Structure 1
């Protein structure tokens, strides 16, 4: 691969973006990423994936504006959203035919194919039974930040906004709007009022501002970023894959539905999880341990639950 470095350590796979000097996100990078994700779909040996950057101070600066401009010029005339939406549905259907997308990419509909690919990749990440961790070492704007949002957990360097350590959706600066899921994920993360403010203003946030809004989960010194992301990913990789997939579906899908429909998804996933052999083993082991604590007059606190918190009490990778 030209733009991605792949490293595997036990149950953690690290995908490192390497497109200097600015790490602009491109369709070629998304194609490589799609290939890696397709290979992971049935790989039970990987429980967590880290997305990282090899370029200092730039996680993914933003999507390559030159590509967007070229795709728009290929369409020749201004088009209403109803037309472009229909074109995306047609292209999505055609993409199921082997080789069809490569053909479309050589036509004026290339931009449609590129947009659909971006959304397919991020949707695949949200649906997989692996935890995705973003190790954000610097700039992540526009499409770059939408890749961060596609991850389940986000660790960012505690850098200086003046050095470009910023997050945000500044597409409105050039007459666009977030197109890779930014509007929808922001609204679900920070609420409609704050999301529309961020997208209309295009304000870029420092790491501390992003942390305060819940847009990243942790902010750490630069020298600790990789170790923090790896420790988090290693712990998540020990979580049961069926539970990971179920939690993600209940929140990402169920959280976007009316309450009763979201509750129905949660109930169904809970009962399904309870029938899995690994969950049954874990429940037996937990009940036995709690029984011993109760019989011995012990406490049930963080220290007593440490092996469960760290994911080492039960080997969920064993079928």
Structure 2
């Protein structure tokens, strides 16, 4: 439906898989697809049974090659500006998911595709993956968070190298740069991403969401401010039903049955 599908996977259906499903266009983001992506993310964000998320893609050649430039070529200036809030909402919806998100990247992840991966918490890429932010080569800047997320993930020098040259990184160099967290053999990115997401989903949902929130908020300020955010999260969880169940399960030598 409009290029984005939603599935349920491992851990009793607690892993939500969002699939970019427009392989005939290398999963290029059209306006309709961006709207659908935002709507699916909103559905997942509101679902307490979804404990982790995998962002994957259909087809063999690409994760996502960014915005649909054929669609844009037929647009006038007013239409391009009208499309902008739709795209911002789509990228923001991925970035703001309260659950941890694992990207499963194969093939081309260029422009907005690279930015979608950068919006995730963990990036798994197989041997076919190629990353790049080539927007300066067509007279634009990355508009899905790339200028900001690349700096935060890679550091200013490597982000500048990637953004200002528009060059592409194969998976080995992307791993060296810190753009990829786990590299796996060709054809196994989705399998590995689902395994990572299942491991996350097996942990306390309340603790996992709080940890993600603390890391995201803490990265924006000073160490002292970040430690206060962490302390507030710890104090809230210390009084939670998940903490009581987790400790009881540890002592009983059984798997927790999380209340949250």
TM-score scaled to structure 2, two decimals?
0.89
* Kept in 1: contact 2:5–2:18 (CA 8 A): yes
Larger deviation: 265-274 or 202-211?
265-274
**How much has 1:68 moved relative to structure 2?**
4.6
Unaligned runs of 5+ in 1: 75-107, 160-164, 290-306
Higher Cα Rg, which structure:
1
Deviates more, 1:44-53 or 1:252-261: 252-261
CA contact (8 A) 2:28 2:67 kept: yes
Shift of the alpha carbon at 1:279? 1.4
What's the secondary structure of 1:256's corresponding residue? coil
Kept in 2, the 8 Å contact 1:129–1:242? The answer is: no
- 2:96 and 2:208 map into 1 onto residues whose CA distance is 9
* Aligned equivalent of 1:17, options 15, 20, 25: 20
1:11-90 to 2 correspondences below 5 Å: 11-19=14-22, 20-68=24-72, 73-74=76-77
Does residue 246 of structure 2 align to residue 277 of structure 1?
Answer: no
Q: Which residue of 1 aligns with 2:8?
A: 8
State the TM-score, normalizing by the size of structure 1.
Answer: 0.74
User: Is the CA contact 1:142–1:178 (under 8 Å) kept in the aligned structure 2?
Assistant: yes
Shift of 1:170: 1.0
Report Cα offsets for 1:106-144 as digits up to 9, x if no partner. Answer: xx3x54453333333333333333221111111011111
CA 1:149 to 1:195, structure 2 compared with 1: closer, same or farther past 3 Å? same
Question: In the TM superposition, what is the alpha-carbon distance from 1:215 to its structure 2 partner?
Answer: 0.7
1:249 is the counterpart of 2:213: yes
Is 1:117 the counterpart of 2:59 in the alignment? no
Of residues 134, 141, 155, the one that matches 2:110 is 141
Aligned-partner Cα distance in 2 for 1:257–1:121? 25
- 1:273 and 1:190 map into 2 onto residues whose CA distance is 31
2:160 pairs with 1:196: yes
- What is the alpha-carbon distance in structure 2 between the residues aligned to residue 126 and residue 268 of structure 1? 22
Deviation at 1:192, TM superposition (A): 1.0
- Contact 1:62–1:144 (CA<8 Å) still a contact in 2? yes
Check the 8 A contact 1:126/1:252 in 2, yes or no.
no
- In structure 2, distance between residues paired with 1:249 and 1:158: 31
Unaligned 5+ runs, structure 2: none
